[in-house]
């Protein structure tokens, strides 16, 4: 029984495979026919331009609440920088890019 199944599967695989000696080359015509409507471009593309939308929001972030005597000067500077960075991301670039000036 197993031999018969193996022979059947082998015969089906051979019958399903394409012929190895078949020529599968496709040739294109030497030149395509032209009806005279082909226009050449002179380097300029579509002159129509639309303004690119900007999705920036206005920079109106509330002032942060910084503890008075619990942070050093460097920590306060980093706290302010983190707040400015959060405001910059919230406004999607509407605020100036913050810099760490400590």
Task: Give ∠ CA 40-41-44 in degrees, rounded to 5.
Answer: 165
Residue 29 confidence (pLDDT) = 61
Residue 81 confidence (pLDDT) = 93
Residue 72 confidence (pLDDT) = 92
Residue 66 confidence (pLDDT) = 83
Residue 53 confidence (pLDDT) = 74
Q: Which residues of the chain have pLDDT under 50?
A: none
User: Would residue 88 count as lying in a domain?
Assistant: yes
CB contact at 8 A, 85 and 95: no
User: Would residue 33 count as lying in a domain?
Assistant: no
Query: Is the pTM value of this prediction over 0.75?
Result: no
User: Would residue 21 count as lying in a domain?
Assistant: no
Instruction: Report the number of distinct structural domains present in the chain.
Output: 1
User: Would residue 91 count as lying in a domain?
Assistant: yes
Residue 40 confidence (pLDDT) = 62
User: Would residue 78 count as lying in a domain?
Assistant: yes
User: Would residue 52 count as lying in a domain?
Assistant: no
Residue 30 confidence (pLDDT) = 63
Boundaries of domain holding 76: 71-96
């Amino acid at each position: 029984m197993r031999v018969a199944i193996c022979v059947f599967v082998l015969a089906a695989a051979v019958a399903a495979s394409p012929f190895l000696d078949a020529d599968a080359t496709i040739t294109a015509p030497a030149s395509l026919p032209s009806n005279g409507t082909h226009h050449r471009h002179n380097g300029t593309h579509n002159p129509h331009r639309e303004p690119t939308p900007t999705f920036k929001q206005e920079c109106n972030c509330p002032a942060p609440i910084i503890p008075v005597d619990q942070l050093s000067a460097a920590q306060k500077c980093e706290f302010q920088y983190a707040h400015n960075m959060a405001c910059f991301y919230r406004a999607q670039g509407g605020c100036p890019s913050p810099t760490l000036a400590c």
